[in-house]
Structure 1
Amino acid sequence: MIPPHPAGIPLPRVLVAAPASGHGKTTIAVGIMAALARRGLAVAPAKVGPDYIDPGYHALATGRPSRTLDPHLVGEGRVAPLLARGATHPDRADIAVIEGVMGLLDGRLGTDGFASSAHVATLTRTPVVLVVDISSTSRTVAATVHGLATIDPRLEVVGVVLNKAGTPRHGDEARRAVEAVGVPVRGVLPRDAAMHVPSRHLGLVPAAERSSAAASLEHIATVAEEHIDLDALLCAAGTAPDLEEEPWSPELVVPSQVVAGGTRPVVAVGGGRAFTFRYPETVELLEAAGAHVVDFDPARDESLPEGTCGLYLGGGFPEVHARSLATNHPLVEQIRSAVAAGMPTVAECAGMLYLGQALDGHPMVGAVPTRAAMGRRLTLGYREAVSVTDSVLGPAGTRVTGHEFHRTQATPGAGTSAAWSLDGREEGFALDPAGTGSATLVASYLHTHWAGSPDLAASFVAAAQDWNARRGGAESASHERGSGGMHLAGRRGAGGSAPTQGLSLRSPKGRPCRSTTSGPPAEPPPHSDPLRHHGDVELADDLIDLAVNVRLTQPPAWLASALADELASVATYPDATRARDAIAARHGLAREQVLPTSGGAEAFTLLARAMAPRDAVVVHPQFTEPEAALVAAGHDVRRVLLRGEDDFTLTDAAVEEIGDADLVVIGNPTNPTGALHPADALRSLVRAGRVLLVDEAFMDAVPGEVESLLPGDLAGVIVVRSLTKTWAVAGIRAGYVAGDRDLVAALATQQPHWSVGSLALRVMTETVAPHALGEAARAADELARWRAHLTAGLAGLDVPTSGTHAPFVLARVGPGVREELRAAGWAVRRGDTFPGLDPSWVRIAVRDPHTIDGLLRELGRILPRRERTRSA
């Protein structure tokens, strides 16, 4: 037992708990943290239970690492010291906010609540604030709160936050009932779809994977400030007694494995979006044991950090980022060779999957003889583990506590040695590929909290130090001295020579060795009509999609819920009245100026059927669907081509070439050029006897929707909008036209009955709600930042680009580069099917910076090689 601190540590604190999972305690806890941090307070976050995901949001909200307080993983005696560590490191905190786990009393099964929120609150003498979802109750919530507040006399429940009130009256009813049983209500929060944090197969999407997380956090903090009495909460937190325990110190529990004045071994620790699961104590213990810890991103970095002589890969979601990981061929080869040479390596869960042979069909590093795939069954639970063999983590018989949390299933290869015995079941891999006599690679599904087993860090750093010495790098392995004992290829643009002593990382021709024997993805079959070529044709199962402009992989949860609700009404014919009125109100138009359509494609077809133009002009390069619809209806089309040297803008020469056309079609922002034409320039095209059709399919991706023709004078104008890209409902086909009443009426006469289905109409009504428009605005701002990242990276590679306002960038990479990108696992949209462009152009969908960096990494290899070939 760590001796008490003689003076104690003053630390106001609260533990946010709930009756069960799903009441919103993560959202409320993070909101409280962020709101208090806005006040300038230093907030020390912590989490009960083995969770990795919630602490990522804690760190984002507070700027401090979140401490995991789990009596099973670290032992009861270390819980309060770890809380004290978080409150004093890197500096003294003003308050600690601890997020609970599951229900207040729910802990390890069969232990009467061991490791529950209540258990941790008792160990740390922390007051409890309950979060209770009242969406399906009102006064009855008082019974729940009364029971939780009185069931354990050691607990002090100092308040309740009522979540998801349907109306103020509903919230007031629940408040009065709770306060009548003697528990103060600290806040009542309304239902708010924007407070939702998206989830997937293992819970919340990690904050590190959501570039929108910061924007969401700002909204959550604002709601918390508005609806929670933070001053009362601070007063309640101030009733907590001083912490008597000495803060946990890694330097006191693990001795340095490096002699005084010796070289610190470099330990590379996997990070980035694919490897987000890691306790902060792991790095702190490695550093205390003498290692120089350097983060790297397996999806982005082309090499391990210089001088690496130990590798730690923690948990995360490699299954989500498998394509980015698989296409980073230089790093894959490097890690495979280093592990084969006996470099000490620890891989937990995600790390094991990455080091395996394949993950969901994607080739991985191949250092561990296993293939893994997503399964239906969730494996979750605490584990008591004993090491089966001597390894870099210690001798056989080493005991640790840990947990498993995964949906993948790994099939082990024959004749391999297991890493752990888990209650008699052998699990994982302990491999000695270099024949050292002890396992240098430990890979398994087991997650361990090294604060509970600090000897693991000491053993691992000692092994890294020994390996470095055996490789002859004792004099030069120091990262601080600037040269690598294991001389690895440099990062992108840095050069670097091949490693010595057999670690060959490149093929004889100098090209990165591929980790797959399957050939490159087949080229899409050529379309007989280039006007019918769409980005989805470019895709294949093993390609990273930068060809299709749909923003999300699935609709937001609030929209998906609304669509599921709509399914109950699909037995009746659809009625577009409500959607039409909602769209009209959103743009300040009359109902007669709006017509819902089955996506933009139907709008173009209706126009082609309703009109008989004598001189139809399509301004290209432009989305080809309008011209295809006009040609299919039997109309002749004249093309006016904008030029790349003018950045595809609408010049005076182009306007003169349009002449006296009675139908003009133009995009804004234009697909694929991304040109955003000034609204005044477009309005100048309006004249008597002419119809101007402006395709604004991507206008909601423009911050503020500047240069839109909606609202305004729409005489002679038709504006086409699509909802499928922003809201990820391409399979539903939702769009509309807005404009001149007579023109809209003419299009309506060509529309079949019920051509727009109930689900599409529901999309229209839901996405014009204030919270949806707010989310779209935040997404547009985020997209602008991502696009700037992409264009800056392309500029760094001397790739000319066009377009600064769309969710895509037109790039002139050169002929043949699209095909090479495809062979390397990247799908981009070919440019030569757009009139006015040649095969040197590609359209690249804007994605998150993490994905874009992978593309830039690949282009950085392709373009110099092609330049060398041309020069030769």
Structure 2
Amino acid sequence: MATVLPRLVVTAPASGHGKTTVATGLMGALRAEGLEVAGFKVGPDYIDPGYHALATGRPGRNLDPHLCRADQLAPLLLHGSAFPEPADVAVVEGVMGLFDGRMGGEGFASTAHVAGLIDAPLVVVVDISRMARTTAALVHGLHTFEPGTRLSGVILNKAGSARLVDEITAALEATGLPVLGVLPRDAGIEAPSRHLGLVPAGEREQAAETVRRLAEQVSAQVDLSAVLAVAHGAPPLTATAWDPAAEVHPPSAARPRIAVAAGRAFTFRYAETEELLRAAGCEPVEIDPLVDQALPEGTSGLYLGGGFPEVHATELSANAALRADIAEAVAAGLPTVAECAGLLYLCRRVDRVPMVGALDAEAVMTPKLTLRYQALVAPEDGLLGPAGTRATGHEFHRTTVTPERGDATRGEGAAWLADGHAYGFSLDPAGLGGATLHASYQHIHWAGHPRLAQRFADAVHDHHARTTPQPEARSNSEHSDEHDLDHHGDRDATEGLVDLAVNVSTAAPPRWLQDVVNAATATLGSYPRTDEASKAIAAAHGVDLDRVLPTAGGAEAFTLVARAFTPRRAVVVHPQFTEPEAALLAAGHRVERLLLSADEGFVLHADQVPEDADLVVVGNPTNPTSVLHHADTLRALARPERVLVVDEAFMDAVPGEPASLAAADLPGVLVLRSLTKTWGLAGLRAGYVVGDPALVERLRAQQPPWSVSSPALAATAACLAPAARAEAADAASRLEGRRRALVDALAPLGLEPVAASRAPFLLLDTSGLRPDRPRGWLRLALRDQGWAVRRGETFPGLHADWLRVAVRDAETSAAFAAAVARCLA
């Protein structure tokens, strides 16, 4: 779907013509007209966006195809124009001259290149203080130099006499480009500069007044209606707005605080950095190192961005209380990212003035300017990524740090390698076994590398969990810690044993399905596409496409549920497959167990579920009890304010699927299905979710790109085709007969399954067979006989005398019954 966004790019023949003056003035003037204006800057510049923010009242943002992918720029433009509220117009300030980009890159990352990526018209600003008719020649050259360049108007800057303006305007008529405005010379509206360019708006008390005067000048001297007509001439964008929630996920339900350096000394950071951290479940809190005396209470992470600590070194040093607090926290393992200014602040001294001292290094001013992009690779596992992590960074400084790197030959202790050199610091000051401190000159736009934000957020959440007392999870099990939630049947089915521990009905897929999977390997050079699998799922259950999501088996679906929702009261109905609870606990949620009674055959009654439970997980038929709950019971649990997760991993093994909710249009319900059991696909991981489209979309937002492999997607589509579903139905009928054969073989031994069970496995209580024996003895005796069964004590609500036995063919069942008889003899 195309998005209409009026927009334009302000450019110039070269630096110094007044792009910042005009762009910032335009933003302020349009805002004064009552419009919501979004401001952007081409390239990595941090200072101009600060003035843009003053002019627009919303964050200034950057569009840089070096630091982000080129195809991200239009999505980032749309995001920045929609957040915090929809903009009426976007104004983008260019960089350098119109066609100036990467050296040797044929204009890559130039203003013209970026304008093309966002399909925006250009308005060129020309300083005419030393030109007359040559202005027209210059503009004509810009207009015709590169095919596809869309110059749409000219603004003349630093004009002197009216006679000169008339001369230039007449000459420009030949170009066909209108003069949109003429700004006179007025040094009073220029921002002062320093060794790295303009003085940041955050450091200038008079910055707001400067921006106000700029807006007044532009409003008086520029035809704003004509400018808006240019902006409205931009075609609709077909891109989708960038969404931080689609790039990262909260590792837990906690909201750990990240202290973010701000104020006059720390003015540089990308707006998307904090948005990514918030989407990853963190709470950025600004601190001003010039005045705040301590880190905020409960700080679990520290982000020190760019700025000018060398200019404010005396004031920073005078705040000894905060310096000591940060030094202590970093030494104790507080996850800390420091970029450029942050690197200097963490050194022992900057130009002999004491700083934090978390790094054994000294920083000094030099006459040399370092200004460059760097292709970076992490030499070893670090706070922002494992060894081999790649990123693009930008350096902009006149200081040096000694030492500035770890082992220069091997990269030990270095944050990055670039061009064979090691840079920055990656340290583990607390000796925790992994780096918690990352400091370098490199500024990195995390929207272009969201995995860095995720890695940092993961560390922050881990630190919070490690250092913050956690309330005990509520549970109605007295011995919840005795259950190994990570235990699976494949651990019991060791080599040499007959496997009745794993609930996979066949050892290998049928030949036709193997051919489908094998054929899919020919497409492994392309990224997986979910289209056909999604259509097959929707067709199989008679639902719309927005109600389905292919997953890498049920395990991924449980993880997505745990990441997508933040329940106040999560209830898991037990005995139950342990994966859902393990996933919820891993995400930091508190879990309450509803233990069903063996005396009642583990049957669920709707009124047993707490009314205020806002996330409920139940299996149907339930693993390990094999109980098939009535569909009406589950429907009674559904409501809009609750997420009801029904694990139907074994439903396709029940003839007719009488209790399935997969096709039910119920608010708040998610049904999880697996193809593993019936089709022998445990090693491929194929499954899916069907349910409330709003909830499915939330799961989709948490799913990593291409998480389901092409062979798994091909198998999913094939297994849900009509012929395959008919084959599965026949297999379910055969399993029903085999189940009866196993029940009949065990009945003479005093072993009977749970009454309401229907799944292709039996849950057996063996405690009454030999009361004099210790619990679990029969499972061990069967192992000695060469048989593997699933142990019961790893399931909440069961003990070691409960055994789960998978249904196999009649001959295997008879042999198993004979082995049990020998153990009892």
**1:196 maps to amino acid:** E
**2:435 maps to amino acid:** A
Per the alignment, residue 53 of structure 2 pairs with 59
Per the alignment, residue 413 of structure 2 pairs with 417
Deviations 1:815-872, CA, capped at 9 Å, x for gaps:
xxxxxxxxxxxxxxxxxxxxxxxxxxxxxxxxxxxxxxxxxxxxxxxxxxxxxxxxxx
**2:265 matches 1:279:** no
1:113 is aligned, of 107, 124, 127, to 107
Per the alignment, residue 267 of structure 1 pairs with 258
How far the C-alpha of 1:198 sits from its partner, in A, is 0.4
**2:452 matches 1:461:** no
Within 5 A, what are the aligned runs for 1:166-565? 166-258=160-252, 262-412=253-403, 417-475=413-471
Q: Separation in 2 of the partners of 1:105 and 1:204?
A: 22
> Which runs of 5 or more structure 1 residues have no equivalent in the other structure?
1-5, 481-872
Higher gyration radius (CA) = 2
Q: Separation in 1 of the partners of 2:190 and 2:469?
A: 51
Residues 142 and 178 of structure 1 are in contact (CA less than 8 Å); yes or no, is this contact kept in structure 2? yes
Residues 24 and 131 of structure 1 are in contact (CA less than 8 Å); yes or no, is this contact kept in structure 2? yes
Deviations 1:367-410, CA, capped at 9 Å, x for gaps:
01111111111000111100122112111111011110001111
How far the C-alpha of 1:226 sits from its partner, in A, is 1.2
Q: Separation in 2 of the partners of 1:256 and 1:174?
A: 58
Per the alignment, residue 152 of structure 1 pairs with 146
Q: Separation in 2 of the partners of 1:118 and 1:451?
A: 22
Residues 389 and 439 of structure 1 are in contact (CA less than 8 Å); yes or no, is this contact kept in structure 2? no
Residues 108 and 382 of structure 1 are in contact (CA less than 8 Å); yes or no, is this contact kept in structure 2? no
**2:7 matches 1:13:** yes
**2:185 maps to amino acid:** R
Per the alignment, residue 615 of structure 2 pairs with none
Q: 1:472 to 1:97 in 2, by over 3 A?
A: closer
Within 5 A, what are the aligned runs for 1:527-676? none
Query: Which SS does the other structure have where 2:447 is aligned?
Result: helix
Deviations 1:697-726, CA, capped at 9 Å, x for gaps:
xxxxxxxxxxxxxxxxxxxxxxxxxxxxxx
Q: 1:160 to 1:439 in 2, by over 3 A?
A: same
Per the alignment, residue 133 of structure 1 pairs with 127
How far the C-alpha of 1:256 sits from its partner, in A, is 1.5
How far the C-alpha of 1:293 sits from its partner, in A, is 1.1
How far the C-alpha of 1:294 sits from its partner, in A, is 0.7
- In the TM superposition, structure 1's runs of 4+ consecutive aligned residues that sit over 4 Å from their partners are 413-416
Q: Separation in 1 of the partners of 2:470 and 2:72?
A: 36
Per the alignment, residue 62 of structure 2 pairs with 68
Deviations 1:420-452, CA, capped at 9 Å, x for gaps:
001212110111111122211000000000000
User: Alignment length, in residue pairs?
Assistant: 468
How far the C-alpha of 1:180 sits from its partner, in A, is 2.5
Per the alignment, residue 629 of structure 1 pairs with none
Deviations 1:735-789, CA, capped at 9 Å, x for gaps:
xxxxxxxxxxxxxxxxxxxxxxxxxxxxxxxxxxxxxxxxxxxxxxxxxxxxxxx
Per the alignment, residue 585 of structure 1 pairs with none
Per the alignment, residue 778 of structure 1 pairs with none
Q: Separation in 2 of the partners of 1:355 and 1:220?
A: 38
**1:138 maps to amino acid:** A
**2:30 matches 1:39:** no
Q: Separation in 1 of the partners of 2:256 and 2:242?
A: 24
Deviations 1:300-343, CA, capped at 9 Å, x for gaps:
10011110010000000101111111010110000000000111
Deviations 1:15-43, CA, capped at 9 Å, x for gaps:
00001111010000000000000000000
Q: Separation in 2 of the partners of 1:320 and 1:20?
A: 29
**1:390 maps to amino acid:** D
Residues 468 and 474 of structure 1 are in contact (CA less than 8 Å); yes or no, is this contact kept in structure 2? no
**1:187 maps to amino acid:** G
Query: Which SS does the other structure have where 2:117 is aligned?
Result: helix
Residues 104 and 117 of structure 1 are in contact (CA less than 8 Å); yes or no, is this contact kept in structure 2? yes
Q: Separation in 2 of the partners of 1:179 and 1:53?
A: 35
Q: Separation in 1 of the partners of 2:434 and 2:141?
A: 55
Q: Separation in 2 of the partners of 1:442 and 1:120?
A: 31
**1:367 maps to amino acid:** A
Q: Separation in 2 of the partners of 1:411 and 1:298?
A: 23
How far the C-alpha of 1:475 sits from its partner, in A, is 4.8
How far the C-alpha of 1:181 sits from its partner, in A, is 2.2
Q: Separation in 1 of the partners of 2:419 and 2:3?
A: 40
Q: Name the Cα RMSD after superposition.
A: 1.4
Q: 1:464 to 1:475 in 2, by over 3 A?
A: farther
Per the alignment, residue 816 of structure 1 pairs with none
Q: Separation in 2 of the partners of 1:370 and 1:175?
A: 58
Q: Separation in 1 of the partners of 2:66 and 2:47?
A: 18
**1:194 maps to amino acid:** G
Residues 428 and 434 of structure 2 are in contact (CA less than 8 Å); yes or no, is this contact kept in structure 1? yes
Query: Which SS does the other structure have where 1:243 is aligned?
Result: coil
Residues 383 and 426 of structure 2 are in contact (CA less than 8 Å); yes or no, is this contact kept in structure 1? no
Within 5 A, what are the aligned runs for 1:851-862? none
Per the alignment, residue 677 of structure 1 pairs with none
**2:367 maps to amino acid:** R
Deviations 1:216-249, CA, capped at 9 Å, x for gaps:
1111111111111111111111110011111100
Per the alignment, residue 156 of structure 2 pairs with 162
Residues 386 and 421 of structure 1 are in contact (CA less than 8 Å); yes or no, is this contact kept in structure 2? yes
Residues 364 and 399 of structure 2 are in contact (CA less than 8 Å); yes or no, is this contact kept in structure 1? yes
How far the C-alpha of 1:264 sits from its partner, in A, is 1.5
Residues 273 and 447 of structure 2 are in contact (CA less than 8 Å); yes or no, is this contact kept in structure 1? yes
**1:238 maps to amino acid:** H
Q: Separation in 2 of the partners of 1:312 and 1:388?
A: 22
Residues 402 and 447 of structure 1 are in contact (CA less than 8 Å); yes or no, is this contact kept in structure 2? yes
Residues 265 and 461 of structure 1 are in contact (CA less than 8 Å); yes or no, is this contact kept in structure 2? no
Query: Which SS does the other structure have where 1:245 is aligned?
Result: coil
Q: Separation in 2 of the partners of 1:177 and 1:391?
A: 60
Q: Separation in 2 of the partners of 1:93 and 1:454?
A: 25
Residues 192 and 199 of structure 2 are in contact (CA less than 8 Å); yes or no, is this contact kept in structure 1? yes
Among the aligned pairs, what percent are the same residue? 57
**2:16 matches 1:22:** yes
**2:467 maps to amino acid:** R
Query: Which SS does the other structure have where 1:455 is aligned?
Result: helix
Residues 152 and 230 of structure 2 are in contact (CA less than 8 Å); yes or no, is this contact kept in structure 1? yes
Q: 1:295 to 1:182 in 2, by over 3 A?
A: same
Q: Separation in 1 of the partners of 2:38 and 2:369?
A: 31
**1:311 maps to amino acid:** L
**1:309 maps to amino acid:** S
How far the C-alpha of 1:472 sits from its partner, in A, is 4.2
**2:229 maps to amino acid:** C
How far the C-alpha of 1:153 sits from its partner, in A, is 2.1
Residues 263 and 474 of structure 1 are in contact (CA less than 8 Å); yes or no, is this contact kept in structure 2? no
Q: Separation in 2 of the partners of 1:421 and 1:271?
A: 28
